[in-house]
Structure 1
Amino acid sequence: MITCCCPCITMGHIVEIVDRGTTSCGVGGLIYYALGAVGCGWLYACTYRTKLRHLFSLPEAPCADVLVHCCCCVCSLSQEYRELKNRGVDPSIGWQSNVEKWHQEGVTVPPIAALGMNR
């Protein structure tokens, strides 16, 4: 529901996790909002979909990242957020809180799929 009403929040969460905390949730969401005001938010979001795919070695299928974000940016943001959750990351708590959670659980590195893995 949040993604449907205010996609900049979801985008901010995704940006912070994919950038491993170097870009904050607020900055990522604000950039998406500003670009969205001129009709280009989907281009920014598309770059993070590509980064997320590379991070987890996911195929660019059934169509290109640009096309997915161009046709339905809200759906693609929801899909990316869900992918992070399925991989053991909680985007809503931010990068630093996830790192602390992983340390408590004994995980020494963030969950990343090995190269060449497919679904």
Structure 2
Amino acid sequence: MGDGHPWSSGFWDCCSPCGTCSLAFCCPCCLHGRTSSRLKDPSMKDDGMCNGGCCLYFSLSWCGLHFIPLMNKRGQIRHNFGLEGSGCGDCMRACCCPCCTLMQHEKELESRAGFLAGNEGYKAPGGMEYGK
């Protein structure tokens, strides 16, 4: 492992929550799309599963190259949050267990959603209150 912070959940911690696990197993392109949306918009105001990320994953999975978008997304997540890992490790995880990789990506972004949503720039302070 390289320098960096640990991931919020372990790589093999991929069986919960059950709904996300089912999505990773049955329709991985949709989970990859949702993770791509969450990375762009942490508040998930527009829960977009069927987007460019989904289409890319789906189209590359037909020729056995599903690991490429997973590897790239993992590197992007690691870079954005200063997480431990390396490009070689990203490739190995994406090739060997895409479901676990998808789950870890989604869980990491879910755990950081509050932090990311709070970084939207200046917010006006609350109004003053006077005592009675």
Query: Same fold by TM (over 0.5)?
Result: yes
The CA deviation at 1:86 is: 1.0
What is the aligned partner in structure 1 of residue 53 from structure 2?
A: 28
| Alignment deviations for residues 62-93 of structure 1 (CA, whole Å, 9 cap, x no partner) | x710001010011110011001111126xxxx
Please tell me whether residue 7 in structure 1 is matched to residue 21 in structure 2.
Answer: no
Q: Where do 4+ consecutive residues of structure 1 move more than 6 Å?
A: none
Scaled by the length of structure 2, what TM-score is found?
0.61
CA RMSD of superposed structures (Å):
2.2
What is the aligned partner in structure 2 of residue 75 from structure 1?
A: 100
Please tell me whether residue 109 in structure 1 is matched to residue 120 in structure 2.
Answer: yes
5+ residue gaps, structure 2: 1-21, 42-47, 122-132
> 1:32 and 1:58, CA in 2 relative to 1: closer, same or farther beyond 3 A?
same
SS in 2 for 1:64: helix
Instruction: For CA contacts below 8 A with separation 6 or more, give which structure has more relative contact order.
Output: 2
How many residues are treated as equivalent by the alignment?
91
What is the aligned partner in structure 1 of residue 124 from structure 2?
A: none
What is the aligned partner in structure 2 of residue 17 from structure 1?
A: 38
Please tell me whether residue 54 in structure 1 is matched to residue 117 in structure 2.
Answer: no
- Rounded to whole Å, the distance in 2 between the matches of 1:3 and 1:68 is 14
Give the counterpart letter for 2:63 in structure 1.
Answer: V
- Rounded to whole Å, the distance in 1 between the matches of 2:119 and 2:38 is 16
- Rounded to whole Å, the distance in 1 between the matches of 2:70 and 2:90 is 9
5+ residue gaps, structure 1: 90-98, 111-119
- Rounded to whole Å, the distance in 2 between the matches of 1:17 and 1:88 is 8
What is the aligned partner in structure 2 of residue 93 from structure 1?
A: none
Scaled by the length of structure 1, what TM-score is found?
0.67
